[in-house]
Amino acid sequence: MSINISIVKDYDEMSRRAARIIADAIRNKPNLVLGLATGSTPVGCYQELIRMHKEEGLDFSRVITFNLDEYIRLPPTHPQSYRYFMDENLFRHVNIKIENTYVPDGLSADLQRTCKEFEELIKRAGGIDLQLLGIGANGHIAFNEPGSSFDFRTMVVNLSERTIKDNARFFKSIEEVPRQALSMGMGTIMEVRKIILLASGVGKAEAAAKSVEGPITTDVPASILQRHPNCIFILDEEAASKLVRKAR
């Protein structure tokens, strides 16, 4: 088992390639269970999916989605909440039924129960068919920071000081950055049927190389993807620049 690598020229080509895989999966299975990610990386892919919906009739009416993570105690109306991000960047531009879009509920009064229910919902949907992922510069996936167990399920996580600082640029001040989030665990992510990980830019090159070619270690959470039976990394040339073995 190893990670399939697809190296493309730049961010736009990465986005189009990912969108095409997702669109083909939806056409093959109109009630696809699709795992989604937030952050700057997937925005271009979502824009391409919106274009395909508008110009080519790509139909989201039966698609079910699950997002990887959400901040705790940030209302869905807050521009930095991941629910708001998904609504703005994808959901309100396509014909998806909003009741079929699941983002962990960071406002829940019983977060442990919410985590369990999220796992239940994924199971009841039949499992995630296709999961889109980004990667952090330190190799993190969702909010699974280095050191997280590969067995974790959806859980409450404390954001690391590094992540709080990194994310402060999106908030008015560092005090406003939530200290906790809900996140699928690597155990949840490893059960999906197919994974597409996107990375663009030189800032991701080291994380990509370590994940693909380095030892499998909790120090680099994405390295566990080497054990996934159906995982593709779509990297632009900069993100692929530190790979030893290159393929196209």
Is 40 or 112 the residue whose CB approaches ligand PGA more closely? Answer: 40
Is 60 or 143 the residue whose CB approaches ligand PGA more closely? Answer: 143
Q: Residue length, the chain?
A: 248
Integer angstrom CA distances of residue 222 from 59, 68, 198: 31, 14, 12
Asked if 39 is part of the footprint of ligand PGA (rule: CB under 6 A), the reply reads yes
Q: Smallest distance, Å, CB 138 to ligand PGA?
A: 9
Residues labelled catalytic: 69, 138, 140, 145
Spatial contact of 130 and 25, defined as CB atoms under 8 Å apart: yes
Asked if 185 is part of the footprint of ligand PGA (rule: CB under 6 A), the reply reads no
- Kindly tell me which residue out of 15, 19, 41, 189 binds ligand PGA, with binding defined by CB under 6 A: 41
Asked if 224 is part of the footprint of ligand PGA (rule: CB under 6 A), the reply reads no
- Kindly tell me which residue out of 31, 40, 61, 95 binds ligand PGA, with binding defined by CB under 6 A: 40
- Kindly tell me which residue out of 3, 72, 135, 189 binds ligand PGA, with binding defined by CB under 6 A: 135
Token pair of 207 as six digits: 């994380």
Is 39 or 146 the residue whose CB approaches ligand PGA more closely? Answer: 39
3-state secondary structure of 75: coil
C-beta nearest to ligand PGA: residue: 39
Our measurement of the distance from residue 100's CA atom to the centroid of its chain's CA atoms, rounded to an integer in Å, reads 17
Q: Smallest distance, Å, CB 108 to ligand PGA?
A: 23
Is 15 or 41 the residue whose CB approaches ligand PGA more closely? Answer: 41
Cα–Cα nearest to 248, from 229, 234, 228:
234
What is the distance between the alpha carbons of residues 166 and 161, in angstroms, rounded to a whole number? Answer: 9
Q: Which residues contact 118 (CB under 8 A, 6 or more apart)?
A: 66, 102, 104, 154, 182, 184
Contact residues for ligand PGA (CB under 6 A)? 39-41, 134-136
